[in-house]
Amino acid sequence: MHRRRRLSLLAATTLAATLGATALGAAPAALAAPGQDPRLTRIIKAMTLEEKAAQLFVLQVYGKSADTADPADVARNRRLYGVDNAAQLIARYKPGGIIYYGADPANVDDPRQLAAFSNGIQRAALAQRVPVPALISIDQEGGIVARVQPPATQSPGAMALAAGRRPADARALAAITARELRALGVNADYAPVADVNVNPANPVIGVRSFGSDPALVSRMVTAQIDGYGAGGVAPTVKHFPGHGDTRTDSHTGVPRIEHTREQWERLDLPPFRAAVERGVDAIMTGHLVVPALDPSGDPATLSRPILTGILRQRLGYRGVIVTDALDMQGVRDTYGDDRIPVLALKAGADMLLKPPADTAGTGLFPTQLRAVVEAVRGGELSERRLDESVYRVLELKRKRGLFRDPFADESKVDRIVGAPAHLAAAQRATDRTTTLVKNDAGLLPLRPGARDVLVAGWGAATTRTLADELARRGAAATVRETGLSPTRQTIDATAAAARDADLVVAVTNRAWDAEPSTLTEPHNGPGQADLVKALVATGKPVVVIAVRDPYDIAHFTEAPTYLATYSYTAEALRSAVKVLFGELAPSGRLPVAIPAAGDSGRTLYPFGHGLGYAR
């Protein structure tokens, strides 16, 4: 018998014991409330208070296998939880979920490794006194946020898909992502982003959003909800009530959204309302202060008027509410870490994502778990309220088939992850997203023939990939990677090299992040814009490709030729080169407006702008 089949039978056997009328010697469970699954209520009845509280936490863990013995991973896990690895973490605390990261912790190596890791987690979860499969989650939005890299299929990010204006592409690629994640044992994706990016200086959302138009964002969000669900993975829209108009990153500060109630209703609400109406599995909170919705000053994650008053009662949402990571500064500024999970549950949240560590690196999950248990025992939080959240979590796991079979089939991983049909679909969709914003000199499409090309700007892999694609078309391509903040010396040396080239391709990544603002993280500085200006001043033909936010052109308006790809995936770069040579007609249209630098009231390029080639 195949090993995976044996595991499934074991899961069914142990779970059947829990779902029996008298689980583990407990008294018969009370009848479920109207509309509730009595099998799930019996599981809750069998749990201790500590086990129910733990079911609400989603934890990170170091290592690339459930039983890792790597000394560095073991040391980090001991600091966080006092255990060596994921299997011991589950045995001791029985958390409801695990979240994978691509780096710090580096959980992802290759597809077979990740599938085996997921199966190890599920074996540990089903070996407990009350066997409950784990929700294994990840941030696989596509574009610039993808924890699982090639050979997995790389989907265009949200803004790129919106530039293509094809909800069918958004749905199809979400389904492909979901099928590949499920093959890896991942059953929940923290995507899609439902934030409406109306602030070009937004430091944390940007191209992760589908754009600045609520109707377009709503269409694309619902398409991706359908796609993820069809692929068997729970989608999670984020970050309620909307992170699209902020100049502060909630990882490092407390964003304050100054929209009036009417503005919020018109701009931020529509995609979330559409997601609720679509029956989305989960909604992630934003660590955002929105005075128009809650004048208390509490971030939405801790706000009962926002989570219960608006999301539950007004919008009628019945699914899981998961917090954004609890180690982010946006939720830690006002209250102690021991209070945050209790306040989040009182506000209406169900799952508590990624508890923080203290300044010494000691994990605070045991403290936060104990705080929830003590809040129930002390009467601050009722056990009935706790049970409501546990039921929603179990219902989500049931909906996604985890009680039936939570395991990945390791023998099929290589046939599913990065399948040729998946890769081809991703490239076709990406080819519809490249946006030609400016072609004033009529340089594009390039005429075929050998030429010396300098590829300069941000990204070692990005510039190299572009150079390789140019070389395939007969060009002699030279690379000068200049980083996010090129110095004057680097700029001068690159401009000197450009004088010997026939053509310059300049790559920018958030060149707009150059002016003083309230952002708390380091800026790129003016170097990228200065580099483009110096290259244009050489008199050589220059093509600028913005590989992240499309707003960069506002900072070097003298550049005559400008494309936006919204991403630096290999697929996006291949698409851009096809456009350069006229092999592909540019068809993407801006999902946002590009305002003038320093004058947001003046629009350089409107929403929907995009040039084509005359036929």
Contact 473, 577 (CB under 8 A): yes
Has 139 been annotated as catalytic?
Answer: no
DSSP 164: H
Contact 584, 565 (CB under 8 A): no
Give the C-alpha separation, 13 to 498, whole Å. 69
Q: Which run of H or E residues covers position 368?
A: helix 365-377
* Location of structure tokens 């290759």: 110
* Location of structure tokens 């008298």: 22
Please calculate the CA angle 580-584-589 and round it to the nearest 5 degrees. 90
Q: Which residues pair with 505 in a beta bridge?
A: 455, 543
Give the C-alpha separation, 581 to 448, whole Å. 7
Give the C-alpha separation, 273 to 582, whole Å. 41
- Interhelix angle 38-46/383-399, rounded to 10 degrees, is 130
Give the residue among 413, 416, 426, 415 at the shortest CA–CA distance from 173. Answer: 426
Secondary structure (3-state) at 99? strand
Has 324 been annotated as catalytic?
Answer: yes
Specify the length of the chain in residues. Answer: 615
For the stretch 213-247, what's the b/e string if a residue is b when 16 or more beta carbons lie within 10 angstroms of its beta carbon? bbebbbbbbbbbbbbbbebebbbbbbbbbbbbbbb
Show the 3-state SS of 375-436.
Answer: HHHCCCCCHHHHHHHHHHHHHHHHHCCCCCCCCCCHHHHHHHCCCHHHHHHHHHHHHCCCEE
- Catalytic residue, candidates 110, 251, 338, 405: 251
* Contacts with 480 (C-beta within 8 Å, 6 or more apart), sequence order: 454, 455, 456, 463, 493, 494, 497
- Catalytic residue, candidates 169, 189, 268, 324: 324
Contact 337, 368 (CB under 8 A): yes
Contact 282, 135 (CB under 8 A): no
Q: Which run of H or E residues covers position 271?
A: helix 269-277
* Contacts with 174 (C-beta within 8 Å, 6 or more apart), sequence order: 155, 191, 192, 223, 224, 225, 226, 227, 228, 231, 235
Contact 114, 121 (CB under 8 A): no
Give whole-number Cα distances, 437 to 190, 327, 597, 606, in Å. 31, 39, 16, 10
Which residues are identified as catalytic? Answer: 251, 324
